[in-house]
Amino acid sequence: MYTDKVMDHFTKPRNVGEIENPDGVGEVGNASCGDIMKIFLKVENDIITDVKFKTFGCGAAIATSSMVTEMAIGKTIDEALALSNQAVAEALDGLPAQKMHCSNLAADALHEAIKNYRETHK
């Protein structure tokens, strides 16, 4: 059902936790399945230098959260905004169709964190 990459990011998630004094925080959730993702950003000179996440949800939710943090570190704010949920799923070699709508909210959480960063660092 899940790819090897999904299982790897689920069983050994990267960048779990919180950033003390983050530059941006984003949280999204899906009430129908209960997945909730919170992303914390550290930004220096328009570059994302650190990303951490806390996710409550299924294996796919944890895997997508882990993957999006890996994809965002080192990117500019604009490059990170271009990351889509589809790109995250593709980086994991795909997700089951029934998991795409609820557990793949990771890019949305990242975008919310960037929005928060931009609102608080004008």
Q: Where are the domains of the chain?
A: 4-120
Residue pLDDT tens, the chain, 122 long: 899 999 999 999 999 999 999 999 999 987 777 889 999 999 999 999 999 999 998 889 999 999 999 999 999 999 999 999 889 999 999 988 887 776 678 999 999 999 999 999 87
Dihedral (CA of 59, 61, 64, 67) sign: negative
| Three-point CA angle 96, 86, 109, nearest 5° | 105
Q: Determine contact, residues 101/28, Cβ cutoff 8 Å.
A: no
CATH topology of domain 4-120: Sufe protein. Chain: A (3.90.1010)
The pLDDT of residue 104: 75
Q: What is the pTM of this model?
A: 0.93
Active site positions, annotated: 33, 102
